[in-house]
Amino acid sequence: MILALDTSSAQGSAAIVSGGAIVAEHAGDASRTHGVRLPGDLIALLEDARVTLAGIETFAIATGPGSFTGLRIGIAAIQGLALAQGKLVVPISTFEALAADVRLKAAATHERASNIGLRTSDVGSRTPDVGPRTPEVLAVWIDAHRGEVFATLYAGDGVTVLQPPTSLPPEATLDAWSASLAGAEGIRFAGDGALKYRGVVEERLGTRARLPDAVPPLAGTVGLLAARQPERAVRPHAIVPIYVRRSDAELARDRLRPAGGA
């Protein structure tokens, strides 16, 4: 029984996973801060799943990148719960969770296509199935604010990293990825950064880009990944957020610091 939490975005989500399946998953209210709503959200989730906190065997948390404040609140909450219960926590990056969500949906589509006798290439294809193709790649873009995206590029398997995480404007991200994208027949995007900068992506990549219609709640996927990789569990104090870039508070502090000062 796993309690999983994602506070990397304004909405966020929480989920209970058991037996390799999502038992309950609640998306958050983006109009309210995580600090205000998180206790009530977790109580409601446990009630919905008909499980007590004592029945949770492992905790899982999305460690970012994403909202700096949201990450700190979510990680601190899970650390406190896990410490009080004497349990371990599985850290899952937001990049990894978004990529896994795409893989899970692709697998479900393949299974449905097999059940009705269709080829996988017939499902969701935008181009004729002729001639040799290079594999599709997966671009995960998370809104980093300040006109930037936290981004990483995966191979078509959604696991192999082709470009490491960066925090750059969307145009600069695509420029940095030009060699990796050149031979790809399709570029599938995931994350709220892809939604926010849809216009940039479509202008630069045209019909090769497969853009999402929405960003799904991620806590369930975080919990499923934790269930499949229990060896990744660590003690609560070992959880470290993934920021990619320095926080706004750190940058503001440096601007106020006198040149050459301590």
**pLDDT of the chain, 262 residues: tens digit per residue:** 999 999 999 999 999 999 999 999 999 999 999 999 999 999 999 999 999 999 999 999 999 999 999 999 999 999 999 999 999 999 999 999 999 999 988 776 655 545 555 443 333 333 333 333 457 999 999 999 999 999 999 999 999 999 999 999 999 999 999 999 998 999 999 999 999 999 999 999 999 999 999 999 999 999 999 999 999 999 999 999 999 987 666 656 766 776 555 5
Q: Can you give the pLDDT at residue 205?
A: 97
pLDDT of residue 105: 81
pTM, two decimals, is 0.86
Nearest 5°: the CA angle 125, 131, 133 is 65
Q: Which domains does the chain have, with CATH numbers?
A: 2-94+217-256 (3.30.420.40), 96-210 (3.30.420)
What is the DSSP annotation of the chain?
-EEEEE-SSSS-EEEEEETTEEEEEEE--TTS-HHHHHHHHHHHHHHHHT--GGG--EEEEE--SS-HHHHHHHHHHHHHHHHHHT-EEEEE-HHHHHHHHHHHHHHHHHHHHHHTT--GGGSS--S-S-S--PPPEEEEEEEEETTEEEEEEE-TTSSSEEEEEEEE-HHHHHHHTHHHHHT-S-EEEESHHHHHTHHHHHHHHGGGEE--SS----HHHHHHHHHH-GGG-B-GGG-----SS--HHHHHHHHHSPTT--
Q: Given this model, what pLDDT does residue 248 score?
A: 62
pLDDT at 224: 97
